[in-house]
Structure formats: structure tokens, C-alpha cells
Amino acid sequence: MGRSVRLKSFELVARDIREVDVKLLHALSIAVGWPHRPKDWNFLRRAGQGIVAVDGIGRVFGSAMWFPHGPEFATIGLVITSPRTQAQGSGRWLMEQVFERCGDRNLSLNSTDAAYHLYLSLGFSKEAVVYQWQGEVVSSLPAVPVLDGELRSLSAENLQEIAALDERAFGTNRQKLLALLSEGASICVLSRGDEIVGYSMKREFGRGHVIGPIVASNDCDAIHLTAVHLKELTGRFARVDTREQTGLFADYLQQSRLGISETVITMSKGRRFLNRKENEPWVYGLAGHALS
């Protein structure tokens, strides 16, 4: 697929996303109702790679990013097409550009309902639904189950303590991403004996704070790893992206006054991405739709 495309009255070329003024990227995400701030875009440009579709005078009509985790796997996100070109094939062209640059990697993404059929036509398969729980946290949090283990904070300098656990839950090593996520984040770990069995991060994003990643082996552990951050956010806006719609963990989010605002669909191309096993570590809370 060529690195330029003509869409009716627009002739667009692909440019490296790092070469584009972040204000233009912010305007693009605002146009489709996404909450990304300029500083969120800057973080994502540090975490991954991307392209933008621009015309001859530098106007931005679309974006797409990918986040490689080694030579075999990458997540895709921030695939945005401006309303003026959505029906003209710009999304497909952007994805072809991503495929070219990702090579033979297995891929995963979280699709909006509007883009779902495009991704199906590009060879992606549906795996799960992600529920975006968000809202202003209730001032008096609900009761939590009895804690099995010990909660403690973790400094960014000691991220190696959770690397193996995260790799078991996520399916591949993403230490570089975790290091970036940890900058300015609050990190909590859950230990039983000498073993770390779960962890969570809280960081600023969009309208408030995101709690994620959250890695745990069961709902009760996930509740504790989430509650420790919600205690610091009472009366403030919080968001948790999770594949849990029902169960104790989802009930706790609802009782904390978070509600499901929208859903996206986890899809994969190549090797299946998700592989949940009973009593094994699982990603209860995503780092973000683009990052998984």
C-alpha cells in the first residue's frame, strides 16, 4: 500500500507522529470525543510509534499508533480518522500502513463499535469486550473482602519485582511500557508470604485518573488493589477499563459509583491474545485502550 492516498478532494501522506505538533493531535482526538490531553499524546508518542495522515498544507486527517513488545507482538491504538474522511477509506489505508511497519508481529487492538467491521475485514477476530467504568468516586467506599496478604507501595525503581507477574498475566514482556507508566504513578503490590501475587497503578489521564494496569488472580485481590487507589480519589473522577462486567470486582466498581460509559472490543490478528486461566494472574484493569 502506498504511503500516500487520494480520497476524493484530499491527497494525504503518512508522516511520523513525532513530527506533528501535539496541538493538532489533540484537536483530532477532540473531534471524535476522546479524552486525551496533549500530555497524554506526548506520553503515547514516547511509549510507541505512529503515523498521521496529513494533506499538502499540514492539516491532520487521521492517526494510528502501534506499541511493539519485542519482535513478535504489538498492540494497536489511537486509530482516528477525521469525520470528513471516515467514509472515504482513510481508516483502511492507515491500518495498511501499520501492517507494513509491524511486519510479521501478532497484533491486538480494542475496537470501537464503529470500526469493528473494518477490523474484521482486515483479518482481526473478536476475543472479549472491555467495559469502561468511570465516574466520581463515592465519598464513603463500600466494604472490601477480608485481605489475604499484605498491601504495600512499590517505587518505580523496583519495577523488576512485578515484571515476571505482569508477563504471566499479559502474555509477553512489557517492561519498557511499565517503566514509562510508572513515572508519576502510585504503585501498590499485594504479597502473600514472600511472593508478590498482584499489583496496580494509578496515574493521571484524560478527565482524571486511570487505575491500571491491575493484575490479580481473583476478584477479591483485584478489589483490594483497586480500593487502595480509590481511597485517594473520593469525590474525584476515576476510570477503570476492565473485561469484567459481572462478579465481585464489577460489583465493587459499581458500588464505588463508577458506571459503564462505553465498551470496546478486544480483537487479535495472528496468535490469540487473551488466555485466562483459573487462579492464574489476569489483567483486571487495562493500562489503556491503546496499551491493553
Q: Which of 227, 217, 220 is nearest to 281 (CA)?
A: 217
pLDDT tens figures, 82-103: 876 666 678 899 999 999 999 9
Give CA separation, 53 vs 90, 108, 117, in Å.
8, 22, 21
Tens of each residue's pLDDT in the chain, 292 residues: 446 555 556 688 999 999 999 999 999 999 999 999 999 999 999 999 999 999 888 889 999 999 999 999 999 999 999 876 666 678 899 999 999 999 999 999 999 999 999 999 999 999 999 999 999 999 999 999 999 999 999 999 999 999 999 999 999 999 999 999 999 999 999 999 999 999 999 999 999 999 999 999 999 999 999 999 999 999 999 999 999 999 999 999 999 999 999 999 999 999 999 999 999 999 999 999 999 9
Q: Distance between CA atoms of 154 and 198, rounded to whole angstroms? A: 12
pLDDT tens figures, 273-291: 999 999 999 999 999 999 9
Question: Domain locations in the chain?
Answer: 4-104, 131-285
Which pLDDT belongs to residue 1?
A: 43
Which pLDDT belongs to residue 143?
A: 97
Q: What is the CATH number of domain 131-285?
A: 3.40.630.90
Which pLDDT belongs to residue 188?
A: 98
Strands 195-205 and 73-81: unpaired
**Is 131-285 in the same CATH topology as 4-104?**
yes
> Which CATH topology does 4-104 take?
Aminopeptidase (3.40.630)
SS (H, E, C) the chain: CCCEEEECCEEEEEEEHHHCCHHHHHHHHHHCCCCCCHHHHHHHHHHCEEEEEECCCCCEEEEEEEEECCCCEEEEEEEEECCCCHHHCHHHHHHHHHHHHHCCCEEEEEECCCCHHHHHHCCCEEEEEEEEEEEEECCCCCCCCCCCCEEEECCHHHCHHHHHHHHHHHCCCCHHHHHHHHCCCEEEEEEECCEEEEEEEEEEECCEEEEEEEEECCHHHHHHHHHHHHCCCECCEEEEEECCCCCHHHHHHHHCCCEEEEEEEEEEECCCCCCCCCCCCEEEECCCCCCC
The C-alpha angle with vertex 76 and arms to 187 and 120, in degrees rounded to 5, equals: 130
Name the residue with cell 482516528. Answer: 80
Which pLDDT belongs to residue 58?
A: 87
Which pLDDT belongs to residue 87?
A: 60
Which pLDDT belongs to residue 10?
A: 67
| Verdict on whether the full-model pTM lies above 0.85 | yes
